[in-house]
Structure 1
Amino acid sequence: MTDRDPLVPALAGVLVDVVWWLESCGDDEVDPDSAVKIMESVGGELLRLPSGQRERLVQALADLADAEQGPARREFLESFPSAVGLVEGEES
């Protein structure tokens, strides 16, 4: 299913890229405590979305993962929903 509003997949992709960047930064680039606080805040806000919007986001992430050519980013996109608690599953 492709989202008809291009804003949803665009924002989902940006969100994933920011979280991926925060996870991969060294301590000299971003304070680790700040990075954790930001990621916890992102996860908390996503969990407050109404269920239909969470489902729409999860679908947008799945669509992005399906279209992704880079294996590392595809894997991160696939693991993101469970890592932030949007779906049940093991955290990566």
Structure 2
Amino acid sequence: MTCWESALMPVYSSLTHALAGALVDVLWFIGGSEDEQMDPDDAVKVLEGVSHLVSKLSSDQRSELIDLLGTMAEAESDPARRGFLEGFPEGFGLLDDVV
């Protein structure tokens, strides 16, 4: 691993954290893409697919992801991305049916 790779690759405490980070990165990119970068209809399909996926998570899995997103938001230095992370649970339906 080069110094460049180690400087850009965060160390995650778990596979779940790494995968959540990757999901957030992809959705952040899609949300910030211009129409010339990504077809808007395709973007909507991806976002709806993620919402459907998280709707299938168990209550415990949703709670774990919500907690993880909160931890990620607290550590985020970019205010826009922090806002995205804070709004993720509501925006993607994680709060539906969580007890």
Question: TM-score category by the smaller chain?
Answer: 0.7 to 0.9
The one-letter code matched in structure 2 to 1:16 is V
Pick from 55, 60, 64: which aligns with 1:47?
55
SS at structure 2 position matched to 1:77:
helix
Superposed displacement of residue 11, structure 1: 1.2
**Structure 1 residue 25 and structure 2 residue 25: aligned?**
no
CA distance in 2 between partners of 1:44 and 1:55 (Å):
16
SS at structure 2 position matched to 1:38:
helix
Pick from 8, 14, 30: which aligns with 2:22?
14
List, as ranges, runs of 4+ consecutive aligned residues in structure 1 with deviation greater than 2 Å.
none
CA distance in 2 between partners of 1:9 and 1:73 (Å):
17
**Structure 1 residue 79 and structure 2 residue 87: aligned?**
yes
Over the aligned positions, Cα root-mean-square deviation in angstroms equals 1.2
Match of 1:67 in 2: 75
Superposed displacement of residue 71, structure 1: 1.2
CA distance in 2 between partners of 1:43 and 1:59 (Å):
17
SS at structure 1 position matched to 2:57:
coil
Superposed displacement of residue 14, structure 1: 1.3
The one-letter code matched in structure 2 to 1:25 is S
Superposed displacement of residue 85, structure 1: 0.9
Instruction: State the TM-score, normalizing by the size of structure 1.
Output: 0.85
The structure whose Rg is larger is 2
The one-letter code matched in structure 1 to 2:73 is A
